[in-house]
Amino acid sequence: MEKSRDQSTENVIYIGNKPVMNYVLAVITQINKGAKEVILKARGRAISKSVDVTETVRNRFLQNLAIADIVTGTEKIETDERTSNVSTITITLGKSE
């Protein structure tokens, strides 16, 4: 498990301001290219969207894609005036074979 996760570090999709379906398509594309795992990374308000992407992919497109891991974290954002914290999420999707 850990080994396959290391191998697939290039399969990271950063969730931002685009519509959910763009990211859903990106996940499907990676899996169809043969990726065993796809990693979604989001922070701040995009965290909700990363869950939307996960649920949409699994319910509507790739029923055999399981959630291998969900990890939360905190990143510091430095602006001119102050340092603020932003929450992050990393969702690892893997084929259940």
* Residues near a second copy, by CB under 8 A: 44-48, 51-52, 54-55, 59, 67, 70, 72-74, 85, 87-89, 91
Beta carbon nearer to a second copy, 1 or 70: 70
7/21 with CB nearer a second copy: 21
DSSP string, 25-56: HHHHHHHHTT-SEEEEEEETTHHHHHHHHHHH
Distance (Å, rounded) from C-alpha 33 to C-alpha 24? Answer: 14
Compute the least distance from the CB of residue 37 to a second copy, in Å: 17
Residues 6+ apart with CB under 8 A from 87: 43, 44, 47, 72, 73, 74
DSSP state of 97: -
Give me the least distance between CB of 46 and a second copy, in Å please.
Answer: 8
In the complex, the smallest distance separating the C-beta of residue 71 from a second copy, rounded to whole angstroms, is: 8
Q: What is the nearest approach in angstroms of a second copy to the Cβ of residue 7?
A: 24
Q: Toward a second copy, which CB reaches closer, 15 or 35?
A: 15
To which H or E segment does residue 6 belong?
A: helix 2-7
